[in-house]
Amino acid sequence: MATTTIPEVSFKEILVASDLSDASANAIGYAKAIAKQYGSHIILAHVSDPIAPIAIPEGGWLQDAANQIEEQMQAAGVALRAEGLAADAVNTYGSVRQEIAALADENYTDLIVLGTHGRRGLKRVLFGSEAEGLLRRTSLPVLTVGPAAAPAPQGAWAPKNILCATSLHPRAAHVVAYAYRLAQSSQAAFELLTVDEPNHPADRDMTWHAFEEALAEALPEELGRSQIRSLLSGKSPAENIVDVAKALKADLIVMGARTVHFATTHMPAGVLGKVLSDAPCPVLTIGVE
């Protein structure tokens, strides 16, 4: 049987959403490391709230703050270029979701990178604001660097141990295919962790068969059951995903971004948020249509 070559995954244009906080620093570090690996161009973006017309002196204070952000972003762009990276920095005004999505479209972005602020900040920044829409609905891969993620490497970085955590619903097959292609192009170890395997043997076989058919369409190479792990009992899915990632020394977790709220994917609610908060490595989310 002829072997089909899997196209390499490449990130030529990286968009980094930054709020100029310390929490963004590690995300920027990973973006730099990926850019060094792939020869990427980085766009460092900050989204500010629109400035409404306000009488002086309040309006003057707001304008001063806006000018300060502009200066900080320009300095950040200069710093990236001083490291030999192709980079630009921009400050836009509006909603996070709309502005980041617009920048991604305008610049043919291959990857969006986000940082988080910890449990409280994670809910506020990603799940309690317009950024939630960006993370869950964009068709682009989004790399989220959570508060528990390891520090970004100083040099070029491509993942070497990839854990893909997903349901066995056919709609999740393209998430597995993307993760597998990334592992192949990075020469990384790959493991698939299922989170909703049915208890009854007949249901399990039926579920696997449907998933296998969907995966065969999305992925030209066979992914055998030997690479599949099932969740351990007694813990929540999110805890098991994090535990397996630690046990495997995974440096990247790949998940479907829509599995939190869309019942058709069978991922229990709240799993993605918990994993983003506690994962020992960055989490790459792929939109599930």
Q: Can you give the three-state secondary structure of 12-78, one letter per residue?
A: CEEEEECCCCHHHHHHHHHHHHHHHHHCCEEEEEEEECCCCCCCCCHHHHHHHHHHHHHHHHHHHHH
- For residue 154, what pLDDT band results from cuts at 50, 70 and 90? very high
Q: Is residue 166 part of a domain?
A: yes
pLDDT of 155 higher than 60: yes
Q: Is residue 151 part of a domain?
A: no
**CA 180 to CA 195: how far, in whole Å?**
18
With beta carbons less than 8 A apart as the criterion, state whether 175 and 256 touch. Answer: yes
- Tell me, yes or no, whether 132 and 174 share the same domain: no
- Tell me, yes or no, whether 80 and 35 share the same domain: yes
pLDDT of 123 higher than 50: no
Q: What mean pLDDT is reported for the chain?
A: 79
CA torsion, points 198, 199, 205, 211, in degrees to nearest 10?
A: 20
Q: What is the mean pLDDT of residues 236-257?
A: 92
- Tell me, yes or no, whether 62 and 100 share the same domain: yes
DSSP state of 9: P
Q: Which of 145, 173, 203 is the last residue of a domain?
A: 145
- Tell me, yes or no, whether 107 and 24 share the same domain: yes
**C-alpha 180, offset from chain centre:** 15
Task: Choose the weakest-confidence range: 16-20, 124-128, 204-208, 280-284.
Answer: 124-128
Q: Is residue 100 part of a domain?
A: yes
pLDDT of 153 higher than 60: yes
- Tell me, yes or no, whether 134 and 172 share the same domain: no
- Tell me, yes or no, whether 126 and 189 share the same domain: no
- For residue 242, what pLDDT band results from cuts at 50, 70 and 90? very high
**CA 272 to CA 151: how far, in whole Å?**
21
- Tell me, yes or no, whether 219 and 247 share the same domain: yes
Q: Is residue 46 part of a domain?
A: yes
- Tell me, yes or no, whether 120 and 177 share the same domain: no
- Tell me, yes or no, whether 170 and 139 share the same domain: no
- Tell me, yes or no, whether 94 and 212 share the same domain: no
**CA 288 to CA 88: how far, in whole Å?**
30
Please report the pLDDT score of residue 7 as a whole number: 54
**CA 180 to CA 277: how far, in whole Å?**
24
Between residues 40 and 185, the one the model is more confident about: 40
Per residue in 50-96, pLDDT (tens digit) is 765 555 555 555 667 778 888 999 999 999 999 999 999 999 988 88
Q: Which CATH number goes with the domain that contains 225?
A: 3.40.50.620
Q: Is residue 173 part of a domain?
A: yes
Q: Is residue 63 part of a domain?
A: yes
Q: How many domains does the chain fold into?
A: 2
- Tell me, yes or no, whether 184 and 110 share the same domain: no
Q: Which of 110, 145, 180 is the last residue of a domain?
A: 145
> What residue numbers bound the domain in which 193 lies?
161-283
Q: Which of 92, 114, 145 is the last residue of a domain?
A: 145
Please report the pLDDT score of residue 91 as a whole number: 92
Q: What is the mean pLDDT of residues 119-146?
A: 62
Q: What's the pTM?
A: 0.84
- 167 in helix, strand or coil? coil
Q: Is residue 8 part of a domain?
A: no
Per residue in 193-230, pLDDT (tens digit) is 887 655 655 566 777 788 888 888 887 666 655 456 66
Q: Is residue 150 part of a domain?
A: no
Between residues 127 and 42, the one the model is more confident about: 42
Handedness of CA 263, 267, 270, 276 (dihedral sign): negative
- Tell me, yes or no, whether 115 and 200 share the same domain: no
